[in-house]
Amino acid sequence: MPSKIETDALLRRSTLAIVMGGGAGTRLFPLTKDRAKPAVPLAGKYRLVDIPISNCINSGVRDVYVLTQYNSASLNRHIARTYQFDSFERGFIEVLAAQQTPQGERWYQGTADAVRQNLRYFLEGDHQYFLILSGDQLYRMDFRKVMEQHLTTGAELTIATLPVNAKDAKSFGIMKADAEGRIHEFVEKPKDPAILEDLQMPAEMLQQLGLPTTEARYQASMGIYVFNRQALIDALDNDCMDFGKHIIPAALKKYKVHSYNFQGYWEDIGTILSFFQANLDLCKLVPQYDFFDSAAPIFTHARFLPATKINGAVIREALISDGCIITDAHVETAVIGIRSIIETGTTIRETIIMGADYYAGAVGTDPTRPAPGIGRNCRIERVIIDKNVHIGDNVVITPEGKPDDMDSELFYIRDGIVVIPKDTVIPAGTWI
Over the stretch 7-41, which tens digit does the pLDDT of each residue have?
A: 777 777 899 999 998 766 688 999 999 888 899 99
Is beta strand 218-228 parallel, antiparallel or unpaired with respect to 129-134? Answer: antiparallel
Amino acid symbol at 270: G
Which ranges of 118-153 does DSSP label H, i.e. alpha helix? 119-122, 143-153
Query: What is the Cα–Cα distance from 118 to 337, expressed in whole angstroms?
Result: 35
Query: What is the Cα–Cα distance from 186 to 67, expressed in whole angstroms?
Result: 26
Query: What is the Cα–Cα distance from 125 to 132, expressed in whole angstroms?
Result: 16
Q: How far is CA 367 from CA 297, 324, 339, 360, in A?
A: 38, 21, 18, 9
Query: What is the Cα–Cα distance from 28 to 38, expressed in whole angstroms?
Result: 11
pLDDT at 53: 97
User: Any idea how long the chain is?
Assistant: 432
The chain-wide mean pLDDT, for the chain, equals 91
Q: Give the pLDDT band (50/70/90) at residue 259.
A: very high
SS3 196: helix
With left for phi above 0 and alpha for psi between -120 and 50, is residue 221 left, alpha or beta? beta
Query: What is the Cα–Cα distance from 3 to 147, expressed in whole angstroms?
Result: 11
> What stretches of 321-358 adopt beta strand conformation (E)?
325-336, 341-342, 347-353
Nearest to 415 by CA among 280, 270, 271: 271
With vertex at residue 223, the alpha carbon angle to CA 218 and CA 229, rounded to the nearest 5 degrees, is 120
DSSP characters over 14-52: HEEEEEE--SS-GGGTTTTSSS-GGGSEETTTEETTHHH
Q: What is the mean pLDDT of residues 120-139?
A: 94
CB 129, CB 15: distance < 8 Å: yes
Least confident range of 89-98, 115-124, 172-181, 397-406:
89-98
Q: What is the pTM of this model?
A: 0.93
With vertex at residue 410, the alpha carbon angle to CA 405 and CA 411, rounded to the nearest 5 degrees, is 25
Which residues, at least 6 apart from 88, have a Cβ–Cβ distance to it below 8 Å? none
Query: What is the Cα–Cα distance from 267 to 285, expressed in whole angstroms?
Result: 19
Instruction: Please determine, for residue 1, whether its predicted confidence score (pLDDT) is greater than 80.
Output: no
pLDDT at 213: 86
Amino acid symbol at 287: P
Q: Which CATH superfamily is domain 4-281 in?
A: Spore Coat Polysaccharide Biosynthesis Protein SpsA; Chain A (3.90.550.10)
pLDDT at 89: 76
Q: What is the CATH number of domain 309-426?
A: 2.160.10.10
With vertex at residue 149, the alpha carbon angle to CA 225 and CA 183, rounded to the nearest 5 degrees, is 60
Query: What is the Cα–Cα distance from 172 to 397, expressed in whole angstroms?
Result: 35
| Domain layout of the chain by residue ranges | 4-281, 309-426
Over the stretch 66-125, which tens digit does the pLDDT of each residue have?
A: 998 777 788 889 999 999 888 777 889 998 887 555 555 566 678 898 899 999 999 998
Q: Is the peptide bond between 30 and the residue preceding it cis, with omega within 30 degrees of 0? A: yes
Q: Which helix H or strand E contains 258, and what residues bound it?
A: strand 257-261
CB 183, CB 261: distance < 8 Å: no
